[in-house]
Amino acid sequence: METLLLLFLLTLASGTSGIRTVKKISVQKQQTITIPCLYDQKYTSYTKYMGYGSFWMFSGFVSHSRLSIEDNQKEHFFTVTLREANVSDSGSYWCAVTLSGNDDGTRLYLDVTEAEAGLRVSSQNVSGYEGENITIRCYGASQWCTIRGSCVGRDGGPIERTAVSDDGDALNVTIWQLQKEDRGWYYCSNKDSQMPVYVTVMDAQEIIQFTTNSPSSSRLTSSDQAVIHSYCVT
């Protein structure tokens, strides 16, 4: 009864929710899936949870069997990772925040399929260095979107420095000249579902550190200097 009441309150709140996620994710059984839930800055210090039927899992607690939850307060999102997905895990899930009054939450549907999912990516976590071009392959997708819902399809779209091409097998998403502000959550989508992808942008500092910490060069050589110089000027 309490669960029903909560779901009802969450449903009412969802029009103006401070939590954002995708609507539907499909994944093949036995695979790992990460679900991002983005929240308003005002929710940073509150406890987050994922609800599934009468089962709730809260942030800050030890992971429960195949499910784990992680709150990234710096970037204002939490992720729920489900390992070895099973067909019986299919259903409605809630990304939610515990507040002193009614909780705030947003619902999504997880579909765990017997067969290969129609929409997939080789990794949900891609990274590149600042200034680099990166390509993400989305199988069965027709669009690439920011988590806020701006999309780029075959006919283009409003995401800066981003274009997609289709080689029949997959949608190739290219982000040119990766910038710091490109970091964050995106998703590939088709008519039916969305697949979240997190883009990490590493800065030139990390390359310098890698170069100078390299065990083969305890002293900087002139070629190290050239590498450092080229990254300092970009």
Helix/strand/coil (H/E/C) assignment for every residue in 145-186: EECCCCEEECCECCCCCEEEEECCCEEEEEECCCCHHHCEEE
Q: List Cα–Cα distances, 28 to 22, 54, 80, 82, 93, in angstroms.
A: 18, 24, 17, 12, 17
Binding residues with ligand NAG: total (CB under 6 A): 16
| Selection from 224, 26, 228 nearest residue 115 by Cα | 26
Q: Figure out which of the listed residues 3, 30, 102, 133 binds ligand NAG, where binding follows CB under 6 A.
A: 133
Nearest to ligand NAG of 17, 124 (CB atom): 124
Answer yes or no whether residue 106 interacts with ligand NAG by CB under 6 A. Answer: no
Nearest to ligand NAG of 49, 186 (CB atom): 186
Q: How far is the CB of 112 from ligand NAG (least distance, A)?
A: 9
Q: How far is the CB of 226 from ligand NAG (least distance, A)?
A: 17
| Selection from 108, 118, 124, 112 nearest residue 24 by Cα | 108
Tokens at residue 45, please? 């210090």
Tracing tokens 């990254």 back to the chain, one arrives at: 231
Answer yes or no whether residue 198 interacts with ligand NAG by CB under 6 A. Answer: yes
Q: Which stretch binds ligand NAG (CB under 6 A): 45-53, 54-62, 132-140, 143-151?
A: 132-140
- Footprint of ligand NAG on 31-90 (CB under 6 A): 79, 86-88
Nearest to ligand NAG of 97, 170 (CB atom): 170
Answer yes or no whether residue 127 interacts with ligand NAG by CB under 6 A. Answer: yes
Count Cβ atoms below 10 Å from residue 147 Cβ, excluding itself.
19
Nearest to ligand NAG of 127, 146 (CB atom): 127
* Local structure of residue 125 (DSSP, 8 states): E
Q: How far, in Å, CA of 117 to CA of 26, rounded? A: 6
Give the phi and the psi of residue 40 in degrees, each rounded to 5: -65, 150
Question: Across-strand partners of 127?
Answer: 200
Nearest to ligand NAG of 132, 160 (CB atom): 132
Nearest to ligand NAG of 24, 137 (CB atom): 137
Interacting residues with ligand NAG (CB under 6 A): 79, 86-88, 125, 127, 132-133, 135, 137, 165, 167, 172, 176, 198, 200
